[in-house]
Amino acid sequence: MTRLGIDFGTSNTAAALMAGDRPYLIPVEPGETTLPTSVFFDPVREATLYGNAANRALIEGREGRFMRALKSVLGTPLMHERRVMGHERLTLIEVVARFLATIRERAEAATGQTITAALSGRPVRFHSTDDARNIRAQDDLAQAYALAGFSDVAFLHEPEAAALTAQPLDDGTYGLIVDIGGGTSDFSIFERAGNGVRIIASHGVRIGGTDFDRLLSSAHVMPQLGRGHDLKNEMGPGTHLAPNALFNDLATWEKIAFLYTPETLRTVKLFRKLAVERKPFERLYDVIESELGHDIAFAVEAGKIAANAADARIDLSVVQKGAGIPLTTVQMTDTLAGAVAGIGDAARATLAQADIPADRIGRMVFVGGSSLMQPVQASMTDLFPQARTIPQPCRDRCGTSARAKA
């Protein structure tokens, strides 16, 4: 039976099959072995686009609904709500299923084989503290795989998959996988066992690259749209701060698509009417009316990546011609400090679970696009100063290598 290894990521997805004793990465797009985990519903053409085609449709300003980071919604009631998507009413489980079916179909086209079995990567924890929701998340994903045409699905923790392909360790030392993806941070400690590896401990936390985007957007972009600004009281004198809920959702990848409603527009109109300073709320109204939330999110993500190397700028010309916000490397590091500390806590928890001292970690393998962030790497180096660091095997921001899952 042919089993397809799938890395269904928050931001990007990859797939592979074993060809003899070597993995074969599936070209999920022409010339590409990773596919952005993006979906665009085009009601005019009655079509659904995936990956870079979905991203282009958004950038071109086509009418429709764009969705990204659906993995972050697994395990929540939102997955089971039926909503209008393009010209249909679908649940988010059905949306994920169609994306996975696209991966299966492209793998079949590339190999000439019929594929009904999958080995899917999954975070150690979809949700950090809610055990019931964590279980429901895998159940949701399993249901999506079944709807996508997979009759046999097994799951493997993503950092454990990466450990299976790690280089041999020195005697008496342990390896640590540091897998920081779009939605979660996952860790596995492993040791050499014959010709393979043995997993000692695995742990994870729901912090990832999309959280970095949310924090940067909330701190640096949302104030330009009214966050932290005063509104006059509807009844009587005085003022109050504009409620944060709308700004939090607008800064969160998986929630943006659900803001484009008449109710949200009415709320923003009221904000604009009551604003002490009107201009930021005029911008906010334009963003909601023109459905520019994802454009801003992409701009924040691009600014984050640029600021990881040097002082940069978040380009907001989509909101206002020539507009932009400086983002220095120091500002980025300061803004992400709390999230990075949470990732460090999860790494320490993994170490405690393994019951070994930090100086026994002889090698760290960084996996996942967000593991390349300087604050993350600095934090891990401080925690494990004796470890030799190994760059991630997949350097195109694709998340855990699907090669380990094939």
The answer to whether residue 349 sits within a structural domain is no
Nearest Cα to Cα of residue 222 among 199, 252, 183, 266: 252
Q: What is the pLDDT of residue 397?
A: 38
pLDDT for 1 equals 74
What's the pLDDT at 391?
A: 64
Residue 406: its pLDDT value, please? Answer: 39
* 171 found inside a domain: no
User: The CATH number of the domain where 70 resides is what?
Assistant: 3.30.420.40
The predicted pLDDT at position 5 comes to: 96
pLDDT at residue 173, rounded to an integer: 85
Q: Which residues of the chain have pLDDT under 50?
A: 393-406
Q: Is residue 119 included in any domain, yes or no?
A: yes
Confirm if 389 and 377 have CB atoms less than 8 A apart. Answer: yes
Q: Are 191 and 163 in contact (CB under 8 A)?
A: no
How many domains is the chain built from? Answer: 1
Inside any domain, residue 385: no
pLDDT value, residue 405:
38
Residue 343 lies in a domain: no
Structural domain span for residue 81 = 3-158
| 397: in domain | no
Instruction: Determine the pLDDT at residue 187.
Output: 97
Tell me whether residue 32 is in a domain.
yes
Q: Rounded to a whole number, what is the distance in angstroms from the first to the last CA of the chain?
A: 12
Asked whether 111 and 17 are in contact (CB, 8 A), the reply is yes
Rounded to an integer, what distance in angstroms lies between the CA atom of residue 66 and that of residue 49? Answer: 9
Domain-located, residue 313: no
